Amino acid sequence: MNPSQLLELFRSETDDIAEPFLWSDAEFYVYLNDAQDTFVRAIGGIADRRSPLTKIKYKAGDKFRDYDARILRIKGVQDEQNNNIEVQNLDSLSGAYLENDYGTRVNAGLDDSRTGQIRYVINDVESTDLQLYPIPDRDGYLRLFVYRRPLDEITSASSVLEVPSFQHYNLLNWVKHKAYMKQDVETFDGAKAKDFKNAFLDGISEAKSLKAAREDRKRIMSYGGIRMS
C-alpha cells in the first residue's frame, strides 16, 4: 500500500470519514513517518550498500570523514578497488594493536600520523565520524555496507515507504496509537492508544524473528569447495 491508501484505510477503521476530520491529513503523515522510523530503528535498520549515503569520498591527508546521520550501524567497508577495510570500534581500541602494511603490530593510537593505504576505519570517534587508518596518501572513496534509517520522510501521498508492503498494516497500529494520544476531548483514548501500541510492538517482534531467520540463511559455510548451509 502507498501512503494515500493507508490514509484511506485509517479513516475507515477509525470512522473518521466526515469532514471536519478528527485528524488532518498532515497529522496522519506525521504519525506515519514516525511509525516507519520507529519500526526501522527497532529492527536494527534497513540494509543498504547502494544509496548515495553509502559512498564516502576522501582526499589524501584526511584523517576523519563524516558519514550520514541516518546510518545506524556500519557492517562492512570496501575501498574503490574492492579491498575489504576492517571496521574497528573505539571501545575495542583500549590497549589494542593493529597491523601495518608489513604485518607488524603497531599501537592503534588515535593520534598516530602514519600514512598509506587505508586498512582500518575506526567507528564512534565522534557521533558520525570515521577515522581513517593509516591516513590516506591518495584520494579515493569508501563503499559502506550499512543499516540505516529511511532515506526520506513521509510527508504526503506521493512519499515512498521503505518498509516491506506486508509490514504496512502494522504501521497503522502505531499511527492509531499516536492518533488516540492526541490531546483533544474527541480523540484522546488512553486504552485504545495502549492496545494499538502493544499490537505494534508485537509486529516488531515478529519482524525481528523474520529478519533473524533470513540472515541466518545467508550465513553459508564453505569447506573444500562445497557449500554447506
Q: Nearest CA to 194 among 174, 210, 166, 213?
A: 174
Low-confidence ranges of the chain (pLDDT < 70): 91-111, 125-126, 217-229
Distance CA 77, CA 84 (A): 6
Across the chain, what does the average pLDDT equal?
88
Which letter does DSSP use for residue 92 in this model? G
- Say whether both 7 and 35 belong to one domain: yes
| Predicted model pTM | 0.84
User: Does a cis peptide bond (omega within 30 degrees of 0) precede residue 20?
Assistant: yes
How many CB atoms are located within 10 Å of the residue 121 CB?
23
The DSSP line for 103-149 is S-EEE--TT---EES--EEEE-SSTTEEEEESEESS-EEEEEEEEE-
Is 171 part of any domain?
yes
- Say whether both 86 and 55 belong to one domain: yes
**For the segment 186-226, what is each residue's pLDDT rounded down to a tens digit?**
999 999 999 999 999 999 999 999 888 877 765 544 334 44
Name the phi and psi angles at 66, rounded to 5.
-75, 150
| Final residue belonging to a domain, choices 109, 127, 148 | 148
- Say whether both 134 and 155 belong to one domain: no
For 44, 177, 185, 219, 220, the CA distances from 212, given in Å and listed in that order, are 11, 27, 42, 11, 14
Nine-digit cell string for 95: 590497549
Domain with 87 in it: 46-148
